Structure 1
C-alpha cells in the first residue's frame, strides 16, 4: 500500500510538471510571436514622451494606459487617485569651469526636487570630496561658502551594477542636504553611471525639511574627470565653478495609478500584482525607466487572455505613478490594499530595464524558502534562462506592501544589469535603446512566474 501511495504521488507530480512545462512554452510562444509590448512602448515614448509626475505628459500617459488596458478586455480597468509632487526643471541649465579667464562648458542637469540658483547663476570655489563622511570631517571651516563636488565613481568590482549604484547613490540622495548643514552654497555630483560620456544623469535628491536648501545638479562623468584633474593641477582659488538653473517646486497635483485586473476564478479576493512606474524623468522618453516595466506588466495579462488562461487568483497589472520623485503611487496602493483588506499573495516589480531576463529576487525570505522554490521551479524555468531565483531586493513601488499587507511575498524582476545605468536618468533613455526580443522575453518570464505562483502558491 505504501509503495502504491508513493507511486501515485510521483505520478501526480510528474503530471503537474508536464502541464506546467506545456503552459509555459505556450506563454513564451505567445510573447515572442504575437507580443504587443514593443509597439506599445514605441507609442508611449514617441507619441507621449517624458512623463514626470504632475506634468501634462504624465496625465496623457494615464489616459492612454487606461484605454490600452480596456482595449485588451481585462475584467477590470480603473484609476486610483494619488496626489503627487509637481517639480519643473525650467530653462535648460548652464555650467562652466572657470579657470582664470577661460570658461569651459560643462554638461549639467539639475537634480530632481532641487531649488534654483540665484537669477544670475552661482559662482564659487569648489571643494572635491569622495563621501558624505568627508564633508562632515572637513566641517564648516572648509565647506562654508563653497560648492561641494561629490566625485566618488561607481565601483567596477560589483558584478551587479545595481550594487554599485546603491553604494554611490548617497552622494545624490543626501549629498546636498549634508553639504548645506556645513554652509555650502551649492552641490554638483558626478553622474551615477560607470559609463564615461557627456550625458548628465539626473535623479531625486532629499532635502532636510528644517534645513537650508541649496541648488544641486549632476555633471557628466567626463566633466567630473576634467574638473577633478584641474583641481589637482592648480591652486584652489584659481578654479571656480558656475552654474545656473531655474527649477521650482509647484503645489502637488492629482494624478493616478492605472490598474488592470483579471479576476480569479477560485479566489477573487486574493491578488498577485505585477507592475512598474508610469512616470519618468523629463530628460528623455523614459523607455527603460520604466516604460518597459509598465508595458511588460500589461503584456502579462494580455498573454493570459490570449491563451484563455483563467487564473485561480486575481492578477493585477499596476502602472504606479510618482516612483521617481516621491513614491506616492506605491504608498497609496498599499494604503488602499490595507484599507480594503485585500490579501496579496505576491507582488512583482519590474524597474530595472527591459534587458535580457535572468531571474527573480525574493525579499526578506529564508534560505529554506529559496531552496524549496529553486527545487520546484528552477527545472521549469531553466530552458528559458530565467531561473536565477535568489534572496534580494524587490522594488520601491511594492515596498510599502510589506508593512501594510501581512503575508505578501515581494519579488523583483532581474534582467541583465550591465547596460542599465549607462542610460538611467539621462537623455539616452530612448526607445531606440530597447531591444524588441529582450523586452518580450522579460514579459514572458514574469507571466511564467505568475502562472506558477497562481497554480501552486508560495
Structure 2
C-alpha cells in the first residue's frame, strides 16, 4: 500500500473520530438542556404568572405595560449581562363593552349568536345596526354580486378553513384574507357591515378576533367588522337558505385611540468569542384581549426566556451574543419587530441567526427555516441529535413575523414548529387560557429551541 493511500486513510479516520467526538459532546449538551427544562424548568411558572396575574395584553393597554415591567424584572433576575427596554410607538384599540348580535327571522323573533369585533374595527352606530345579510364565500364573490345586491346589507363571509390540509397554518392562510380585507372590499360595494366566519377548524361557540385593515378607505367610509363563531356561522348559513330575507343585528362599541409608547424587552448574554455576532430568540409579548394569550404568544415568550436561563443553568457560555427579545405589537401592527430590525440596522449590528416561537405551546415537532441551501444542509446534519427527542421536522420555508424584518443575505431565520392540529381551536379566542397549555409540551419546546440555538452558536452559520 502506498504512503499516499495510507495518509488519506489516516486522515479519514481522524476526521471520522473527530466527528464522532463532536456528536458525542453535542449529545451531552442537548441532554443537559432537555433534562434541565423537564426537571427544573421555569417556563410553566412564568406562563402561569403572565397569564393568570396579568392576563390579556392588547397592544397599548395597561396589561401590556404590566407585561413589559414583568419581563424586564424576570430577565434581570436571571443575572444575564444586559437587560433593556427598547421604546416603540404602538396602536391602541379598545373593544369596549361586550358585543351583542342576533338573527331576526320576523319582527320580534330572534336568535342570539356569539360575535366579537375584529381588531381595528370601527364601532356600529349607537344602538347597533340591523340590516339584511348576504352570504359570500370569497372576496371575488363581491365582484360577481356587484353594488346592486350588496348595498345597504351586511356581508357574511363564510369560507371555512380547509379541513383536508394537514398543515393547519396553510388552511388558515387560505381563508384569512376575508378577515383582513373583507370590510375594505365590501365597503366599496355599499355594504354597511361585515361578518366573518371565525378562523377555526372546530365547531364551537367561541368567536375568534384578529387584525383587519381598511386599506386606504376614508374614515367616513369604514364599516364595522366582526367575527362570528363557527357554530353561529353554520346556523346563520342554514337560516339564510330557508329564508334569504332574514336580518342580522350587531352592536359593537370598539374605538381606536392615538398611538402610545410601549417597549420591546431585551436581554443579552454577551458572546465569549464573537460578541459582535448576534443571535436573537423571541416571541411577542402582546396578545389579543379575549383570553389571556397563553398559546399566542405567552408560550413563545417564556420559552424564549428559558433559552437563556437554561444556558446559565448548565454553565454554557455562548460564543456569540445571544439575545432574547420580547416583541411588542405583533398582533395588530408588527411595530416591535420592525423597530428592533430598524435599530439593529442603524447600529450596524451583525445578526447571524434568529429564532421565533409563535405557534403555540404544543408538542414540538421541529423547525422551519428561511436560509440558503448550505445552512439548511448543516441543519439536516444535526437531525440525529434531535431524534431521541422525537424532533423530526426540518423544512425550508418561513420563520416568524417578528424576526422577518431582520432578513438579509447571510442570516438564518427559523421558526419553532409545534404540532399545529389544535392551535386554531384557541387562536385569538376567549379560550386561549393557561389551562389549555400542557406543562411538559411547553418545556419540551423550550429545550428544543435552546438546542438549536446552541448548535448554531457552536458551529456558526455557513
> Do the structures match in fold with TM over 0.5?
yes
Out of 376, 383, 398, which is 2:388 matched to? 383
Aligned to 1:117: 124
CA RMSD of aligned residues (A): 1.0
Is the aligned partner of 1:46 residue 2:52? yes
Aligned to 2:416: 413
SS in structure 2 at match of 1:255: strand
Is the aligned partner of 1:15 residue 2:21? yes
Aligned to 1:219: 228
Is 2:184–2:217's contact at 8 Å kept on the other side of the alignment?
no
Aligned to 2:3: none
Is 2:300–2:358's contact at 8 Å kept on the other side of the alignment?
yes
Out of 293, 296, 314, which is 2:303 matched to? 296
Normalised TM-score (structure 1) = 0.97
Q: Distance in 2 between matches of 1:398 and 1:19?
A: 30
Q: Distance in 2 between matches of 1:25 and 1:369?
A: 23
Superposed CA offset, 1:70-106 (max 9, x none): 0111111110000000000011110010110311101
After superposition, where does 1:290-329 map in structure 2 within 5 Å? 290-329=297-336
Superposed CA offset, 1:118-159 (max 9, x none): 011001111100000111221112111110000001111111
Q: Distance in 2 between matches of 1:179 and 1:232?
A: 21
Aligned to 2:83: 77
Residues 119, 133 of structure 1: alpha-carbon distance in 2 compared, 3 angstrom cutoff? same
Is the aligned partner of 1:399 residue 2:399? no
How far did 1:372 drift?
4.2
Deviation beyond 3 Å, 4+ runs, structure 1:
368-372
Aligned to 2:446: 443
How far did 1:4 drift?
1.6
SS in structure 2 at match of 1:168: coil
Is 2:90–2:260's contact at 8 Å kept on the other side of the alignment?
yes
SS in structure 2 at match of 1:400: helix
Q: Distance in 1 between matches of 2:118 and 2:32?
A: 45
Number of aligned positions between the proteins: 452
* Structure 1: runs of 5 or more not aligned: none
Is the aligned partner of 1:198 residue 2:205? yes
Normalised TM-score (structure 2) = 0.96
Is the aligned partner of 1:230 residue 2:232? no
After superposition, where does 1:125-204 map in structure 2 within 5 Å? 125-204=132-211
Out of 97, 102, 105, which is 2:103 matched to? 97
Aligned to 1:426: 429
Q: Distance in 2 between matches of 1:210 and 1:243?
A: 22
Superposed CA offset, 1:362-398 (max 9, x none): 12544x6534421x10111111112311012111111
* Structure 2: runs of 5 or more not aligned: 1-6
SS in structure 2 at match of 1:193: coil
Q: Distance in 2 between matches of 1:109 and 1:252?
A: 23
